[in-house]
């Protein structure tokens, strides 16, 4: 079996369950030592005895399969705990090579009903959590590159969402956070390229504990792998973390159900020049009103067609 990540160290956040768990297991299968991050402490079983938390359970799975792993239960949305996560990986395994940002929560509600704390919580965990770990991993790679006098090995895989691409009416906080993550990814990709580091983002579709309500109407198949199984997503993460993906940087990919779609960057659809020094209201009315009158009704900047992508379809 190919082990392209042998000798590498990876962090996966939110890796106690669902997507993060599948990603951590895949990275370990490919040879990486994995720091499994999942916020929380070990719990208690039905008898009241101490039981392992989700992060420890995934670590046990990796070790049982012959891999190397370490649990970390800090909150990546906390600046100091994110610093500790990166420092723990470096101290234990000598260096950090791969950062997979996956941790997230949902607080779904229409924008006119959303509470301030529901907005803040989602932005904090998703967007600030991605920034915090990226900030300390980036500093680590920059320092290593300066010491080495050249590029080093570094891979960042961030987790965006189709909610950002298509516009999810009941998830304004989540869509905003996921859009921000794409901006963070492209900025990071440009900033760290000279150090040998790549940063890419994925939009995964998977049935997990966090999304069970979102996909409740989609039945599981009677046989075969569920098209929404996290195992469809994990191999792409492993690939983007590998040496083979060294030429892929600043990209956004949609993945689910045996399908990967490469998203195109935004392009200029129309451009209008004022016939004078600056536009006036009347001139804008004269050029933009007829332009939009010819566009499809209800069309926005959102790419709702991405939701129709399936394996085997164009």
- Tokens 């966090």: give the residue: 210
Paired sense of beta strands 33-37 and 69-72, if any:
parallel
Catalytic one of 161, 168, 195, 242: 161
Q: Is position 271 annotated as part of the catalytic site?
A: no
Catalytic one of 168, 178, 195, 242: 178
Residues 6+ apart with CB under 8 A from 26: 234, 235, 237, 238
Give the Cα separation of 198 and 249 in Å (integer): 5
Question: What string of H, E and C letters represents the secondary structure of the chain?
Answer: CCCCCCCCEEEECCCCCHHHHHHHHHHHHCCCEEEEECCCCCEECCCCCEECCHHHHHHHHHHHCCCCEEEECCCCCCHHHHHHHHHHHHHHHCCCCEEECCCCCCCCCCCCCCCHHHHHHHHHHHHHHHHHHHHHHHHHHHHHHHHHCCCCCEEEEEECCHHHHHCCCCCHHHHHHHHHHHHHHHHHHHHHHHHCEEEEEEEECCCCCCCCCCCCCCCCCCCCCCCCCHHHCHHHHHHHCCHHHCCCCCCEEEEECCEEEECCCCCCCCCCCCCCCCCCHHHHHHHHHHHHHCCCCCCCCCCHHHHHCCCCCC
Phi, psi of 7 (to 5 degrees): 85, 0
Catalytic one of 39, 153, 174, 195: 174
Tokens standing for residue 215: 């996909």
Q: Is position 174 annotated as part of the catalytic site?
A: yes
Q: Is position 161 annotated as part of the catalytic site?
A: yes
Phi, psi of 290 (to 5 degrees): -70, -30
Catalytic residues: 161, 174, 178
């Amino acid at each position: 079996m190919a082990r392209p990540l042998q000798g590498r160290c990876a962090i996966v956040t939110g890796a106690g369950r669902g997507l993060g768990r599948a990603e951590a297991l895949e990275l370990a299968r490919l040879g990486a030592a994995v720091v499994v991050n999942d916020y929380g402490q070990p719990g208690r079983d039905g008898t009241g005895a101490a039981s392992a938390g989700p992060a420890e359970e995934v670590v046990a799975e990796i070790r049982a399969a012959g891999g190397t792993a370490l649990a970390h239960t800090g909150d990546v949305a906390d600046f100091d705990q994110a610093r500790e996560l990166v420092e723990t990986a470096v101290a234990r395994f000598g260096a950090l090579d791969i950062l997979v940002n996956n941790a997230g929560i949902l607080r779904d509600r229409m924008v006119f009903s959303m509470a301030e704390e529901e907005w803040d919580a989602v932005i904090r965990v998703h967007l600030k959590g991605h920034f915090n770990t990226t900030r300390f991993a980036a500093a680590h790679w920059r320092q290593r590159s300066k010491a080495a006098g050249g590029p080093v090995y570094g891979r960042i895989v961030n987790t965006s969402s189709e909610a950002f691409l298509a516009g999810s009416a009941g998830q304004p906080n989540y869509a905003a956070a996921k859009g921000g993550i794409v901006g963070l990814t492209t900025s990071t990709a440009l900033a760290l390229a000279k150090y040998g580091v790549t940063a890419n983002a994925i939009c995964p579709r998977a049935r997990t504990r966090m999304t069970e309500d979102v996909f409740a109407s989609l039945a599981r198949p009677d046989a075969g792998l569920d098209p929404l199984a996290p195992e469809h997503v994990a191999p792409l993460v492993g690939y983007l973390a590998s040496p083979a993906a060294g030429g892929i940087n600043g990209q956004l990919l949609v993945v689910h159900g045996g399908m990967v779609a490469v998203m195109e960057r935004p392009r200029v659809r129309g451009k209008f020049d004022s016939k004078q020094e600056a536009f006036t209201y009347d001139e804008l009315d004269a050029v933009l009103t007829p332009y939009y009158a010819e566009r499809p009704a209800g069309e926005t900047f959102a790419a709702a067609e991405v939701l129709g992508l399936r394996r085997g379809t164009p």
